[in-house]
Amino acid sequence: MRSFLLLVTSLLAFTIPSLAETVDLGHYGQVKLAVPGGWGMQSQKVGDIGVNLTVRPKSDANAACKVTIAFTNQKEEVSAEEQQKRFEKMAAIFAQSSVEQKIEVQKIRLKSGVGFYACFTDPNLVGKPPEPRNYKVLAPAMIVLSKDVLISVTLFTDDKTSQEFTDLVKMLESVVLVNTL
């Protein structure tokens, strides 16, 4: 029984829940996202055009996420197909100099809105040991929550199969826009 309690206690210690964060967007509403447990988030308002977020692990894991929430003030909604075309055009610049040499678009499963990401590996870093803040994998992402709110994201890790990368994708999947009006 004692060893069973020790096992349960150990497992609970490694289960760190996500932390719900809210970013106030003024009259555009609020963006809510679940920052992975063991990670921290810093935010900085950028005038009247948006908010920048930086999400980093509190551990020494070599990963990070840069998020820009921008106010677009578009007149009309843009279709998901057109949003994907725009994302692919933006991501093409990374594909040319990557190991992958092509864009493999992944959809971000959102409660509302549309989102996409793709992964690109730096050929100059393959097979080399990790260096702090010199990431082997870059994953640009785009989330459109409404015609007025666009989120541009870049995920940085050393391995697209790592727990850190998985945690960051889950964080993106948790993003919702709450209109306060």
Tell me: the pLDDT tens digits for 91-112? 999 999 999 999 999 999 999 8
Model pTM score: 0.86
Give the model's pLDDT for residue 37.
93
Give the model's pLDDT for residue 8.
34
Taking the C-alpha atoms of residue 125 and residue 137, their distance in angstroms, rounded to an integer, is 9
Domain ranges of the chain: 17-178
| pLDDT tens digit sequence for 107-135 | 999 998 999 999 999 999 999 999 999 99
Give the model's pLDDT for residue 120.
98
**Mean pLDDT of the chain, nearest integer:** 88
Taking the C-alpha atoms of residue 168 and residue 180, their distance in angstroms, rounded to an integer, is 26
Taking the C-alpha atoms of residue 181 and residue 179, their distance in angstroms, rounded to an integer, is 6
Task: Please give the CATH topology (third level) of the domain spanning 17-178.
Answer: Protein Transport Mog1p; Chain A (3.40.1000)
Give the model's pLDDT for residue 27.
87
Taking the C-alpha atoms of residue 99 and residue 97, their distance in angstroms, rounded to an integer, is 7
